[in-house]
Protein backbone atom coordinates (compact mmCIF):
# COMPACT_ATOMS: atom_id res chain seq x y z
CA UNK A 1 0.00 0.00 0.00
CA UNK A 2 1.49 3.30 -1.07
CA UNK A 3 0.35 6.74 0.02
CA UNK A 4 1.31 10.22 -1.10
CA UNK A 5 0.51 12.47 1.83
CA UNK A 6 0.24 16.20 1.28
CA UNK A 7 -0.18 18.69 4.09
CA UNK A 8 -2.80 21.13 2.87
CA UNK A 9 -4.39 24.39 3.92
CA UNK A 10 -7.32 23.37 1.73
CA UNK A 11 -8.22 20.59 -0.68
CA UNK A 12 -11.24 19.38 -2.61
CA UNK A 13 -12.41 16.65 -4.99
CA UNK A 14 -14.86 17.31 -7.81
CA UNK A 15 -16.62 14.65 -9.90
CA UNK A 16 -18.84 15.62 -12.86
CA UNK A 17 -18.78 19.28 -11.80
CA UNK A 18 -19.97 18.36 -8.28
CA UNK A 19 -17.70 18.95 -5.30
CA UNK A 20 -17.82 15.69 -3.32
CA UNK A 21 -15.16 16.45 -0.71
CA UNK A 22 -13.65 19.59 0.76
CA UNK A 23 -11.38 20.29 3.75
CA UNK A 24 -9.36 23.09 5.24
CA UNK A 25 -6.27 22.28 7.30
CA UNK A 26 -5.27 18.63 7.13
CA UNK A 27 -4.05 15.97 4.74
CA UNK A 28 -4.82 14.97 1.18
CA UNK A 29 -3.97 11.28 0.93
CA UNK A 30 -3.56 9.62 -2.47
CA UNK A 31 -3.73 5.86 -1.92
CA UNK A 32 -2.44 3.13 -4.22
CA UNK A 33 -3.19 -0.54 -3.54
CA UNK A 34 -1.54 -3.73 -4.79
CA UNK A 35 -3.01 -7.25 -4.66
CA UNK A 36 -0.60 -8.28 -1.88
CA UNK A 37 -1.89 -5.61 0.50
CA UNK A 38 -3.75 -6.75 3.61
CA UNK A 39 -5.29 -5.61 6.87
CA UNK A 40 -1.76 -5.46 8.27
CA UNK A 41 -0.86 -2.79 5.67
CA UNK A 42 -4.01 -0.85 6.55
CA UNK A 43 -3.20 -0.94 10.27
CA UNK A 44 0.42 0.10 9.83
CA UNK A 45 -0.29 2.86 7.30
CA UNK A 46 -3.24 4.44 9.13
CA UNK A 47 -1.29 4.47 12.40
CA UNK A 48 1.70 6.05 10.64
CA UNK A 49 -0.40 8.73 8.89
CA UNK A 50 -2.49 9.65 11.94
CA UNK A 51 0.62 10.06 14.12
CA UNK A 52 3.04 11.56 11.57
CA UNK A 53 4.36 14.78 13.10
CA UNK A 54 4.27 17.14 10.11
CA UNK A 55 2.23 20.05 11.46
CA UNK A 56 3.87 23.02 13.12
CA UNK A 57 3.74 23.58 16.86
CA UNK A 58 3.72 27.00 18.58
CA UNK A 59 7.46 27.33 17.82
CA UNK A 60 7.06 26.64 14.10
CA UNK A 61 8.61 23.17 14.41
CA UNK A 62 6.92 20.21 12.67
CA UNK A 63 6.04 18.45 15.89
CA UNK A 64 2.27 17.91 15.77
CA UNK A 65 0.26 15.12 14.16
CA UNK A 66 -3.11 15.10 12.42
CA UNK A 67 -4.54 13.78 15.68
CA UNK A 68 -2.93 16.64 17.64
CA UNK A 69 -4.36 19.38 15.43
CA UNK A 70 -7.71 17.58 15.02
CA UNK A 71 -7.24 18.05 11.28
CA UNK A 72 -9.31 16.66 8.46
CA UNK A 73 -8.37 14.32 5.64
CA UNK A 74 -9.46 13.42 2.14
CA UNK A 75 -8.53 9.97 0.82
CA UNK A 76 -8.40 9.50 -2.95
CA UNK A 77 -7.81 6.13 -4.59
CA UNK A 78 -5.02 6.39 -7.16
CA UNK A 79 -3.90 3.21 -8.92
CA UNK A 80 -1.32 5.18 -10.92
CA UNK A 81 0.91 5.33 -7.82
CA UNK A 82 1.97 1.79 -8.72
CA UNK A 83 2.93 2.63 -12.30
CA UNK A 84 6.00 0.90 -13.66
CA UNK A 85 7.97 3.22 -15.94
CA UNK A 86 11.18 1.26 -16.32
CA UNK A 87 10.52 0.03 -19.87
CA UNK A 88 9.15 2.13 -22.70
CA UNK A 89 7.19 5.33 -22.45
CA UNK A 90 3.76 3.98 -21.59
CA UNK A 91 3.40 3.28 -17.86
CA UNK A 92 2.32 -0.22 -16.89
CA UNK A 93 -0.22 -0.56 -14.10
CA UNK A 94 0.00 -4.33 -13.75
CA UNK A 95 1.04 -4.04 -10.06
CA UNK A 96 -2.11 -2.12 -9.12
CA UNK A 97 -4.80 -4.28 -7.52
CA UNK A 98 -7.94 -5.03 -9.51
CA UNK A 99 -11.14 -3.37 -8.22
CA UNK A 100 -12.48 -6.55 -6.57
CA UNK A 101 -9.37 -6.55 -4.33
CA UNK A 102 -8.69 -2.81 -4.14
CA UNK A 103 -12.17 -1.54 -3.23
CA UNK A 104 -12.52 -3.49 0.05
CA UNK A 105 -8.97 -2.50 1.04
CA UNK A 106 -9.61 1.15 0.17
CA UNK A 107 -12.84 1.15 2.17
CA UNK A 108 -11.07 -0.62 5.03
CA UNK A 109 -8.32 2.00 5.02
CA UNK A 110 -10.86 4.84 5.19
CA UNK A 111 -12.77 3.12 8.02
CA UNK A 112 -9.61 2.48 10.02
CA UNK A 113 -8.41 6.07 9.54
CA UNK A 114 -11.81 7.31 10.75
CA UNK A 115 -11.39 5.19 13.87
CA UNK A 116 -7.83 6.46 14.45
CA UNK A 117 -8.89 10.10 14.08
CA UNK A 118 -12.33 9.69 15.66
CA UNK A 119 -13.96 11.62 12.81
CA UNK A 120 -15.51 11.15 9.37
CA UNK A 121 -13.00 11.07 6.53
CA UNK A 122 -13.99 12.54 3.19
CA UNK A 123 -13.17 10.63 0.02
CA UNK A 124 -13.16 10.73 -3.70
CA UNK A 125 -14.99 7.98 -5.58
CA UNK A 126 -13.15 4.79 -6.45
CA UNK A 127 -12.57 4.55 -10.21
CA UNK A 128 -14.11 7.92 -11.04
CA UNK A 129 -12.56 10.66 -13.14
CA UNK A 130 -11.82 13.19 -10.41
CA UNK A 131 -10.46 16.70 -10.32
CA UNK A 132 -8.38 17.19 -7.20
CA UNK A 133 -7.51 20.70 -6.09
CA UNK A 134 -5.19 21.55 -3.23
CA UNK A 135 -3.05 24.18 -1.68
CA UNK A 136 -0.01 22.29 -0.44
CA UNK A 137 1.03 23.87 2.85
CA UNK A 138 4.79 24.15 3.18
CA UNK A 139 5.01 22.44 0.72
CA UNK A 140 5.02 19.18 2.66
CA UNK A 141 4.65 16.00 0.61
CA UNK A 142 5.65 12.58 1.93
CA UNK A 143 5.51 9.20 0.19
CA UNK A 144 5.00 6.15 2.39
CA UNK A 145 5.03 2.55 1.15
CA UNK A 146 3.99 -0.14 3.63
CA UNK A 147 6.11 -2.65 1.70
CA UNK A 148 9.25 -0.50 1.76
CA UNK A 149 9.50 0.61 5.36
CA UNK A 150 12.59 2.71 6.06
Q: Which of 78, 109, 122, 123 is catalytic?
A: 78
Q: Which of 39, 80, 120, 131 is catalytic?
A: 80
Q: Distance of alpha carbon 2 from its chain centroid, rounded? A: 8
Cβ neighbour number for residue 5 with a 10 Å cutoff: 22
Rama region for 99: left / alpha / beta (φ>0; ψ in -120 to 50; rest): alpha
141 is catalytic: no
CA-nearest of 70, 98, 79 to 4 is 79
Using alpha carbons only, what angle is made at residue 103 by residues 117 and 82, rounded to the nearest 5 degrees? Answer: 90
Instruction: Give 96's Cβ-side CA count (13 Å radius).
Output: 19
CB burial readout 9-32, b (16+ within 10 A) else e: ebbbbbeeeeebbebebbbbbbbb
Q: Which of 6, 46, 55, 79 is catalytic?
A: 79
6 is catalytic: no
Looking at the annotation, which residues are catalytic? 78-80
Amino acid sequence: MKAVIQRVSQASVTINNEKVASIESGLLILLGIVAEDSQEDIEWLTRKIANLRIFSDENGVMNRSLIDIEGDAIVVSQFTLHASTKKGNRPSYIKAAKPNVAIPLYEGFVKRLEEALNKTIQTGQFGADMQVELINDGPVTIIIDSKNVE
